[in-house]
Amino acid sequence: MRILINALSGIGDALMFTPSLKLLYDKMPNYQIDMMVMFKPVQDLFQSSPYVKNVYFVDFLNQSKYKSYKQLKEIRSNDYFISINVYPSNRYEYNLVNYFIGANKRLGQKYLNSGFLSLEFLNNVSVKEVKDIHNVTQNVNLIRELFQIEDNEIGGLDVHLSEDNENCAVIWLKKQGVDMQKPIVGFHPGSSTLKNHINKRWDKEKYAALGKKLIEEFGATILLFGSEKELNDEINNSFNNKGVIASTSDYMDSMSRLRQCNLFISNDTAFLHSASAFKIPVVAIFGYTNYKELYPWQTDNAVIRKDYKCSPCFFNSPKPASCKWKGKDEFKCIKDIKFEEVYESCRKFLLNSKSPRLL
């Protein structure tokens, strides 16, 4: 018997399904679990997972519809008994794909912000989305339709690194001249630009000031993550190139470097959740997205946000982010977060760290 997981959204959403993936593996040992993905980092994540047999990469965004159809037809021929849309997947395209696979049980969420045109009715096992619970729990609630799960069985996020990955990261850090006895702090100052999410980014000048302060006070090495090279270079230049550009085009290589951090500071992005997978303390900077659904899962964290009445205002729907305020007040929920607020949380974590590097 086979299960297909449709992890067609980005790496952050894929990571938040990993506790459910392990539960499926443990509680349904007679089933083979396969994944379908459309982003390369998601493929890298699940190819290293001991819980997944096959990972099918379908480049829906960049290839012809005919080629995608042919790939889907091949996947459908595996005769899946269960197929599952990873939460959140609030688009009609995802539901069409789930239906086309032809599984006997097609699991998906019934979203609070959707309608008939989202084609949710094509999923014959649906669970209502619940406001203000974590995305990990939303996914677990979906697979609770298959078997019983106690809350204490829900584990952390999973990224499986090989020993070679870890060793290469340590060698790379030493080549960069990083003092492993002093704190290593990861930054992700960027974000996706899809759905107007460039507005999730905290001010780059504040990130630069934060980096300078952590270098001066703690002798920290700043590792800059993300594909936003120009942004990272600009921030690094502001503290005289004392930081290190850490990301590569290989997701697992980037993860092995992130694993070496004592602390991670990020906007609401996939890197925030990647750090959570390694139980690294996280200072998470939130604007208009819902921190109750996306806070760092099962790791020490500080969520920095402004408790404005209008925030959070972005929900799981295909609509891009927008703000009711205009001019200088547009997206003020992220603009009004002060350097001092973020720095104080970083300082507390570094002073209280039990990491051998800080002793």
pLDDT of residue 317: 78
Instruction: Give the mean pLDDT of 159-171.
Output: 93
Domain boundary among 102, 125, 153: 153
* pLDDT digit string, tens, across residues 127-151: 999 999 999 999 999 999 999 999 9
Question: 142 and 211: one domain?
Answer: no
Residue 291 lies in a domain: yes
Query: Does residue 333 share a domain with residue 200?
Result: yes
- Report the alpha-carbon distance of residue 92 to residue 104 in Å, rounded: 19
List of long-range contacts for 163-171, beta carbons under 8 Å, 24+ apart? 165/252, 165/253, 165/255, 165/256, 166/256, 166/259, 168/253, 168/256, 169/253, 169/256, 169/257, 169/259, 169/260, 170/260
Same domain, 146 and 10: yes
Q: What is the DSSP letter of 220?
A: P
CB 168 within 8 A of CB 304: no
pLDDT at 355 over 70: no
Last residue of a domain, one of 120, 153, 186: 153
Q: Are residues 244 and 307 in the same domain?
A: yes
- Predicted pLDDT at 69: 97
Range of the domain at 249: 163-358
CA 317 to CA 273: how far, in whole Å?
21
Rounded Cα distance between 12 and 42, Å, is 9
Residue 158 lies in a domain: no
Residue 66 tokens read as 């005919």
214 and 345, same domain (yes or no):
yes
Q: Is residue 217 part of a domain?
A: yes
Residue among 32, 2, 9, 4 nearest 318 (CA)? 9
What global pTM score does this model have?
A: 0.94
The average pLDDT across 58-69 equals 97
For residue 241, what pLDDT is reported?
Answer: 87
Same domain, 104 and 252: no
Domain count of the fold of the chain: 2
Position 100 confidence tier, pLDDT thresholds 50, 70, 90: very high
The pLDDT, as a whole number, for residue 55 is: 98
Q: Say whether both 295 and 348 belong to one domain.
A: yes
The verdict on 123 and 175 lying in the same domain is: no
Q: What is the pLDDT of residue 357?
A: 46
CATH number, domain containing residue 207: 3.40.50.2000
191 and 141, same structural domain? no
40 shares a domain with 99? yes
User: Phi and psi of 129, rounded to 5°?
Assistant: -60, 140
- Final residue before a domain boundary, out of 153, 180, 213: 153
Do 258 and 206 fall into the same domain?
yes
Residue 80 lies in a domain: yes
d(Cα 220, Cα 279) in Å, to the nearest integer?
19
HSE-up (13 A, CA, CB side) for residue 153: 16
